[in-house]
Structure 1
Amino acid sequence: MVGLIQLLGGPMFGRFADLFGARAALSLACSATIVFFLLLAAANHPAMLFVHKLPTIFMHVLPASQMVVTDLSEPDKRADALSKLGLCFGIGMIVGSTLGGHLNTRYGETFAACFGAAGSAFSLMLVLKFIPKTTKGQAPRTNTDTGTAAASENKNKSIFNLGEITRLMKFPGVTPTFVVKIVAGLPSGIFQVMFSVIAMEFFKLEPEQNGYVMAYFGIVSMVVQGGVIGRLTARYSESSLLLLSIGVSSFVGLAQGYMQNVFQFCLTVVPMVFSLSVFNVITDSMLTKSVPSSDTGTMLGLSASVQSLLRTVGPTIGGFLYVNYGISSIGLIQFVVNIAVFVFMLHRGLKKKVEQKD
């Protein structure tokens, strides 16, 4: 349900950010999170568990934060800035999960939910205090902005204007990047949404052991996003890094197809987190550079909808594969799909170089 709601809400949320500013969008996301936790605290019936998910249509805190960073960062340093933002969210996920577990154990679910609402309210105060009211004017204009200023002035101001949202797909390079993001990201997305089932049924992990594995995930992610991606983007082109991430992901799928225990899985975590982090950061950076700076919010909203799409269809596809063909099928499909995308992109890149030489 959350995946479907955010799939529909992502583009509209991005459009809202372009029309009213990234700070307004981030404030809306924090406000929706407050309502989300308060409804959870008041839930006394299973139906309320569905009702309290409704505010997730506006709960796009990560994309909204990416919008702020995109507006305030220079294009050539954008990928590094987005990776540092991922580092911050990684720290928050580790600390938040640990603190939430302790609060839930000692004081109960209602108190934990109220504490979440209070934390979100504090986040809202920080946003209003420290984020500039106007962020787009402070960022350098990209080459894509040339010739689009007049069109931007005449844009329809409705956040529900599907034409204004879908027109971004017509910019050079946007549609191919989206296709790669969906096709190459689907297999790894299936494994991610199925991991809780795999941990319990295949690895036979207890909740405490599963917590250690998730902490390991978080630490590796922090190291990769905080200390690796920035250095790579300074030395190599984004197209090369995208190709590298897809190639690494294919071999991660091959390893996951033959793993038998949790130790073997932990060995695959490092390359898996590396490929996922590089893939997500680079595709987001490429997409925002492909459109005018006035439309980066909408583009990030569309990008976030890709993740929501994977969360929507992933459980159904993953459940079918796991029940009928086992965990190895998920990994092997990831290997085949990513190798195919890798070969296609490599051939396309070589063809472009030949055309440029001619």
Structure 2
Amino acid sequence: MNVEVLSKLEQERVKLKEEPLKKDHKERAVNRSSAQWVIQVTYLITTVDLSCLFMQIGIVPYLATNLGLDAVGFGYLQTVFGVLQLLGGPIFGRFADRFGTRAALILSYMSESLCFLLLSVSTSIPLLFLSRVPSIFMHGLPGAQMVITDLTTPAERGDALGKLGLCFGAGIIVGSSLGGTLATTFGIYFPCYVALSGCLVCALMVFIFIPAQTKPQEKGNTAQEGVSQSSSVFNLKEIIHLMKLPGVMDVFLIKVFSGLPTGVFLMMFSIISIDFFGLEAAQSGYLMSYFGILQMVVQGLVIGRLTSRYAERTLLILSVIVLSGVGIGMALMTNVFHYCIIVAPMVFSLSTLGIITDIILTKSVPASDTGTMLGISSSVAPLTRTIGPTIGGFLYRRFGISSFGYLQLMVNALLLLYLLKKKIPQKEEKVQ
């Protein structure tokens, strides 16, 4: 009798132990399903946002010309935009870590709305420059990267971040074509009204569908998260501290220098397409669409498979080698057909390198600081936009188009030697 009672008590004890485990497993499954839903919504919101962004990017040069702004003045306008984005990236990242990614995305879309509103009433050059000021907090794509980084494991992150390339490509194609059509049919300011409405819709969707806090809450990170949450958004010491963590500065500099020559070339492409290739406006638009489609294919279909099979270091070295080859191609190209061939490996290497470096950087810092790290990483493109026109103009006028290829080859050959000499990342592993 006692044996039977003890046996029943043991069964009850085991059952009581298993029930919380089953409940925890069920909650994790629900949370995972919820995370996937949030990620899908983030893709949709990002596509709408990028379409609005490219819609207004296409009309700003024409608006500036109509207001009497010459090429030098337009260069200043672009420089102002680049500097503001450069300064705002780390601040935006700190804001996301401090107040949550939902609040940061709403700030981004509301700033973008204000930018489009000011652009729609820009009847003078001072107003046009004023419309660039809210762009300091316009960081929709880095904000989407923060959501995905928070809601995915390192094994899933490469594929999930790569699919943002589909959003980017769709934004280029839809935004550029729609902006031109609306401007031609309804006037130069009409795309600003449409983009303004689209950004307000994005802000509303973020408020409804994105959780207030997307970061994983782990007991082991409580102390660290507490430190980060108590830090000021404008705490420069915290940003410098992150850059001093092992391996972070090395990867960040590789990200900056490897893509700089191509970025400088692309900043000058509007002039090169007219002066060197002899393209008309419509043909340049087709070339941009081709670029966007390639980016969609590479980031949406190729990178996810690569990151699941190869180590981060291998993909970094591959990207740098391909960029060196692109440099040789750029130095030898003589017509637009050559450029169309070169663009494919260029997009592949830049996309792979950008995603891999972001993965390494977010894995190198505590989970509480991934937003800040992505904000710092997003400053690379504005940095190129700021210094690119000056460097590009000097190289093109002094040495011709081949100089961009030689610069590309030289920089990436040196980076390849550096990667081979110094093990980066310090711990080699597959992304998955």
Q: TM-score range by the shorter chain?
A: over 0.9
State the match for 1:153 in structure 2.
226
Alignment equivalent of 2:394, drawn from 312, 320, 327: 320
Q: Aligned in 2, Cα 1:352/1:305: closer, same or farther, shift over 3 Å?
A: closer
What is the CA distance between 1:188 and its match in structure 2? 1.4
Q: Distance in 2 between matches of 1:185 and 1:323?
A: 21
Quick check: 1:58 aligned with 2:137?
yes
Which of 75, 80, 83 is equivalent to 1:4?
A: 83
Q: Is the 8 A contact 2:183 2:190 kept in 1?
A: yes
CA contact (8 A) 2:109 2:202 kept: yes
Task: Give the RMSD, CA atoms, in angstroms.
Answer: 1.7
Cα deviation, residue 351, structure 1: 12
CA distance in 2, matches of 1:157, 1:282: 28
Give the secondary-structure state (helix, strand or coil) at the position aligned to 2:410. Answer: helix
**Matched residue of 1:205: which SS?**
coil
Equivalent position amino acid for 2:143 in 1? A
> Tell me, which stretches of 5 or more residues in structure 2 are unaligned?
1-79, 428-432
- Give CA deviations for 1:276-312 in whole Å, capped at 9, x if unaligned: 1101111111101100110000000100112211111
Per the TM alignment, residue 350 of structure 1 is displaced from its structure 2 partner at its CA by 9.9
Task: For structure 1, list consecutive stretches of 5 or more residues without a partner in the other structure.
Answer: 354-358
Distance (Å, rounded) in 2 between the aligned partners of 1:178 and 1:349: 14
Alignment of 1:135-174 (within 5 A): 135-137=214-216, 149-155=222-228, 156-174=230-248
Supply the distance in 1 between the matched residues of 2:251 and 2:407 (Cα, whole angstroms).
21
Counterpart code for 2:328? L
**What do residues 22-61 of structure 1 show as CA deviations (whole Å, max 9, x unaligned)?**
1111111111111111100011001111100001000001
- 8 Å Cα contact 2:172/2:289 also seen in 1: no
| 2:206 matched residue in structure 1 | 127
Q: Give CA deviations for 1:233-278 in whole Å, capped at 9, x if unaligned.
A: 0100111111111110111011011100000100001101001110
**Residue 48 (structure 1) aligns with:** 127
Aligned to 2:314: 240
Judged with a 3 Å threshold, the aligned counterparts in structure 2 of structure 1 residues 80 and 352 are, in CA distance, closer, same or farther, namely: closer
SS across alignment from 2:396: helix
Secondary structure of the residue aligned to 2:279 is: coil
**How far off is 1:92 after superposition?**
1.7
- Aligned partners of 2:163, 2:223: CA distance in 1, in Å? 34
Q: Which has the higher contact order (CA 8 A, sep 6+)?
A: 1
**In structure 1, how many angstroms separate the alpha carbons of the residues matched to 2:173 and 2:424?**
42
Aligned CA distance change for structure 1 residues 7 and 241 (closer, same or farther; 3 Å): same
Deviation at 1:171, TM superposition (A): 1.4
**What is aligned with 1:356?**
none
1:36 aligns with 2:138: no
Q: Which residue of 2 aligns with 1:85?
A: 164
Of the three residues 144, 149, 163, the one matched with 1:70 is 149
Aligned residues with identical type, % of pairs:
53
Task: Say if 2:283 is the partner of 1:204.
Answer: no
SS at match of 2:305: helix
Report how far residue 94 of structure 1 moved. Answer: 1.1
4+ long deviations beyond 2 Å? 148-152, 154-157, 347-353
Which entry has the higher C-alpha Rg, 1 or 2? 2
Aligned twin of 1:96: 175
* Residue pairs, 1:186-225, within 5 angstroms: 186-225=260-299
1:14 to 89, 93, 104: 93
Which residue type is aligned with residue 212 of structure 1? Y
Task: Select which of 104, 114, 123 maps to 2:193.
Answer: 114
Matched residues in 1 for 2:206 and 2:227: separation? 30
Spell out the pairing of 1:223-302 with structure 2 (5 A cutoff).
Answer: 223-302=297-376
| 189-198 or 65-74: bigger deviation | 189-198
- Could you state the TM-score of these two structures normalised by the residue count of structure 1? 0.93
CA distance in 2, matches of 1:346, 1:268: 25
